[in-house]
Structure 1
């Protein structure tokens, strides 16, 4: 009787544990604000954390260079 009960309960417990732990994980996405110049002025856009002030490859948004400040003095880029 005990072994029949364990054969039924242990797999069910393992499945419930797996489903519960799947919902316990979360992704850590960090976003930052970047600025770019358009014909109507300086615009703001939210980007991921892969662009930084000293990157080698330019970060762009619809073909516009992204900057760290609204003054457009520090260009953002990615490292390869």
Structure 2
């Protein structure tokens, strides 16, 4: 009796554990720093998602200000898809 119970419960428990752990992983976005030129306060730094450094379609902005990779308007302007 005990042997039949273990043969049934242990594989079921292993499957439930594997499925539960598969959903337990969480991919965290990489946060990077970008810069924008405020007309009064000068260059400001903000945290942005990694997508701003790899895209090409939509400009990454903070409020109405274009974000740049470095504190210079001649540096790379940031875009995301």
Q: TM-score, normalised by structure 1?
A: 0.72
Alpha-carbon RMSD across the aligned residues, in angstroms, is 2.4
Structure 1 ranges of 4+ moved more than 4 A: none
Where structure 1 has 5 or more consecutive residues not aligned to the other structure, the ranges are: none
Measure how far apart 1:64 and its partner are.
1.1
* Cα deviation 1:6-26 (Å, max 9, x = unaligned): 122221232233334444x34
Change in Cα spacing, 1:53 to 1:26, as seen in structure 2 (3 Å) is closer
Question: What does 1:33-48 align with in structure 2 at a 5 Å threshold?
Answer: 33-38=33-38, 39-48=40-49
Figure out how many residues of one structure are paired with residues of the other and give that number: 78
2:53 match: secondary structure? coil
